[in-house]
């Protein structure tokens, strides 16, 4: 069981679950409550949506390790599971079962949403993760972009399902529905962009960390293509864009709303725990040095910053509910 949990990256799967729950319970619910409307997408449908996302992602991690046996034997030989603790045949069986159950939950979520085309989201994710693990991971940039896009899709899925659930459940949109849906979707889109940018940055940093094994296995990653020093500049630029995006979200949107206009806690949280660490831990230091240890540290740091960023949903919920009667 321990090896299985490590294989499916249980910590990452947990983050996916917490992210989706945060979008529903800490973003959509408080906004809708303040505007006096109800969440329309049924709870069982949401849990099926969450399970589908988690299972397909878990299957993606398994198939990634299945195809990466040769690369991992160089980059992280001590942490290898497939081919050591779990045979490749068992790994492919695990991938198929996880994906089948994930697609089954996706069908259930599709039924709950009354949108047949939803199932193509899950089928598409399953296919793209397979293609990524087999081919795209070895390409320049496209594999990084795909994983970042799938990461950004996680919070967006929650907002999309709720939007269509409301659209199908009411005969007309009054001002409360419009304001609630608009605010919830705008905040969720921010979280999606946040997840996309930080995932993209982390994927490139991981490529820098894995450059030795990648070179031996004909991988054409960005660091191999243009060198580590130029890749460092790209990561630094991405870190600056990510920090600027967070500040833009606060100054141009949240601080202008009646809920956050006089609040300092949200700004302090974003500034001290997201923006500052992004620049001090990644944006500036990445320009100096090319050691594997440095990239390993930055990869871990980016994961922590992403979790802290999602944690902003708690501050958001608290502020919205406290100032709902302003």
Give the ranges where the chain is alpha helix by DSSP (H). Answer: 2-7, 10-22, 29-34, 43-67, 69-75, 88-113, 118-134, 142-169, 175-209, 211-216, 222-226, 228-252, 265-270, 276-277, 292-322
User: CA angle 249-27-298, nearest 5°?
Assistant: 55
**Window from 9-13, 134-138, 248-252, 257-261 with minimum mean pLDDT:** 134-138
pTM reported for the whole predicted model: 0.92
* pLDDT-based confidence at residue 24 (cuts at 50, 70, 90): very high
**Among 13-27, 65-79, 115-129, 247-261, where is mean pLDDT lowest?**
65-79
Query: What's the sign of the alpha-carbon dihedral 298, 146, 190, 47?
Result: negative
| DSSP 8-state code for residue 219 | -
Residue 47 corresponds to which tokens in the numbers above?
A: 């849990």
pLDDT at residue 71, as a whole number: 62
Q: What is the pLDDT of residue 175?
A: 87
Token pair belonging to 51 = 């399970």
Distance CA 17, CA 19 (A): 5
Number of domains present in the structure of the chain: 1
With a cut of 80, say whether residue 207 has pLDDT above it.
Answer: yes
Element (H, E) at 6: helix 2-7
92-106 residue pLDDT tens? 888 899 999 999 999
pLDDT at residue 75, as a whole number:
58
What per-residue confidence (pLDDT) applies to 76? 60
**Percent above pLDDT 70 for the chain:** 95
Judged against a pLDDT cut of 90, whether residue 233 lies above it is answered with yes
Banded pLDDT at 34 (limits 50, 70, 90): very high
* Tokens of residue 284, six digits: 């500036």
Q: Is the Cβ–Cβ distance between 242 and 200 less than 8 Å? A: no
The pLDDT > 90 percentage for the chain reads 56
Q: What is the pLDDT of residue 48?
A: 96
Bridge partners (DSSP) listed for residue 86: 82
The residue range of the domain holding 47 is 2-322
Whether the per-residue pLDDT at 295 is higher than 60: the answer is: yes
The residue count of the chain comes to: 326
Contacts of 33 (CB under 8 A, 6+ apart): 321, 324
């Amino acid at each position: 069981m321990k090896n299985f949990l490590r294989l499916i990256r249980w910590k990452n799967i947990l983050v996916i679950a917490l992210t989706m729950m945060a979008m529903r319970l800490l973003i959509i619910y408080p906004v809708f409550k303040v505007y006096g409307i109800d969440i329309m997408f049924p709870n069982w449908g949401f849990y099926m949506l969450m399970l589908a996302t988690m299972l397909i992602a878990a299957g993606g991690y398994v198939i990634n390790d299945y195809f990466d046996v040769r690369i991992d034997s160089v980059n992280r030989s001590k942490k290898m599971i497939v081919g050591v603790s779990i045979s490749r045949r068992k790994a492919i069986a695990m991938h198929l079962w996880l994906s089948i159950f994930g697609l089954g939950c996706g069908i259930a979520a599709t039924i709950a949403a009354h949108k047949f085309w939803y199932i193509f989201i899950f089928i598409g994710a399953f296919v793209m993760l397979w293609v990524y693990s087999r081919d795209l991971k070895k390409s320049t940039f496209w594999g990084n972009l795909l994983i970042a896009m799938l990461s950004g899709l996680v919070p967006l899925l929650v907002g999309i399902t709720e939007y269509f659930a409301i659209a199908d459940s009411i005969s007309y949109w009054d001002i409360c529905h419009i304001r609630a849906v608009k605010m919830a979707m705008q905040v969720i889109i921010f979280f999606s962009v946040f997840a996309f940018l930080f995932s993209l940055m982390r994927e490139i940093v991981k490529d820098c960390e894995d450059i030795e094994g990648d070179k031996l296995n004909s991988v054409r990653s960005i660091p191999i293509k243009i060198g580590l020093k130029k890749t460092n500049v790209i990561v630094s630029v991405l870190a600056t864009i990510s920090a600027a995006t967070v500040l833009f979200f606060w100054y141009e949107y949240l601080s202008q709303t009646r809920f956050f206009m006089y609040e300092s806690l949200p700004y302090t949280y974003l500034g001290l725990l997201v923006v500052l660490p992004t620049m001090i831990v990644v944006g500036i230091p990445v320009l100096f040095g090319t050691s594997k240890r440095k990239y390993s540290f930055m990869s871990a740091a980016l994961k922590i910053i992403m979790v802290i960023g999602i944690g902003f949903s708690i501050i958001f919920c608290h502020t919205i509910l406290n100032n709902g009667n302003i």
